[in-house]
Amino acid sequence: MCLPLVTIVLATVVVVVRNHECKDYVLLASDQSLIDMMKQYLHTSRRKECHRKTSNTGVTFVRWGKKGCPKESEIVYTGQVGGNDHESKGGGVNYLCLPNDPENGQHQSFNNDQVHGGEYELYYSHKPLGWSERMHNKEVPCAVCYQKRRSAVLMIPGRKTCYKGWNAEYNGYLMSDHVIYNKKEFACVDINAEPLDNKNGNENGALFYPLRTKCGSLRCPPYTNEVDVLCVVCTK
């Protein structure tokens, strides 16, 4: 039923009720039929409206260490990791996913370089289980992904699976800069991380080191001392 027709029916019912000569009256079968019909219309229209709102929602997240997005999510853009140099004392601390098709600004002569590339720092004795040391000094790729019909995104450190009711987008290892350098954020790097390309040069910049736990103020159990820190990115 279209909205104008429902409006007419509602107006008719109101007029009939207002013009009714009796103060005490009961609804006729035909009146109840109209009411039931209007209830059904409102129920259906609200359900469709709710579906439209839900289908238009979604969340974005960065998949660190990969050029593509997980299955069933859309790729917004792919790029390479950037960030402040590991020895810089000021400026930004977060990693950036820089697109591969930038729109570059004007050349400037002032000294405030804060956007460098990102590299894996992986040595034969300092790398996550299953990773190759051949990734050492390779640049880090990234992808910005969009997952439809979700309203929240959460990175859980210390787990490789999501809690009940949440959907895993990808899992991996928690990484950041080295403890002797300046602070960077914690990033969940895909467990099957790959290099940006085959270029191999120790150019530093924003560095990615694997992390491990340290018992003490960190309670063990449930945690274990000096092990890789797992992570998982979940949506709902």
pLDDT top residue among 26 and 75? 75
Q: Is the pLDDT of residue 206 over 50?
A: yes
Tell me the pLDDT of the chain averaged across its residues: 83
Beta bridge partners of 156: 232
pLDDT top residue among 12 and 91? 91
- Helix or strand or coil: residue 130? coil
**pLDDT > 90 in the chain, percent:** 47
**pLDDT > 70 in the chain, percent:** 81
Q: Give the mean model confidence (pLDDT) for residues 147-160.
A: 94
Phi, psi (degrees; rounded to nearest 5) at 102: -70, 155
- Helix or strand or coil: residue 41? helix
Alpha helices in the chain (DSSP H): 3-18, 29-55
Quick: pLDDT tens for 94-123. Answer: 999 999 999 988 888 888 888 899 999 998
Cβ-Cβ contacts under 8 Å for 58 (sequence gap 6 or more):
146, 147, 148, 149, 150
Q: Give the mean model confidence (pLDDT) for residues 14-39.
A: 61
- Residue 86: which of 184, 175, 173 has the closest Cα? 184
pLDDT top residue among 31 and 186? 186
Q: Give the mean model confidence (pLDDT) for residues 76-81.
A: 96
Write out the DSSP string of 52-117. Answer: HHHHT-EEEEEEET-SSPPTTSEEEEEEEEEE--TT-SSS--S-EEEESS--------SS----EE
pTM of the model: 0.74
Compute the chain's Rg from CA coordinates.
29
In whole angstroms, give the CA distance from residue 38 to residue 3: 10
Report the pLDDT value the prediction gives residue 87, as an integer from 0 to 100: 80
| Residue 187 exposed, middle or buried by CB count within 10 Å (0-12, 13-18, 19+) | buried
Quick: pLDDT tens for 47-74. Answer: 655 555 556 789 999 999 999 999 889 9
Report the pLDDT value the prediction gives residue 17, as an integer from 0 to 100: 45
pLDDT top residue among 91 and 17? 91
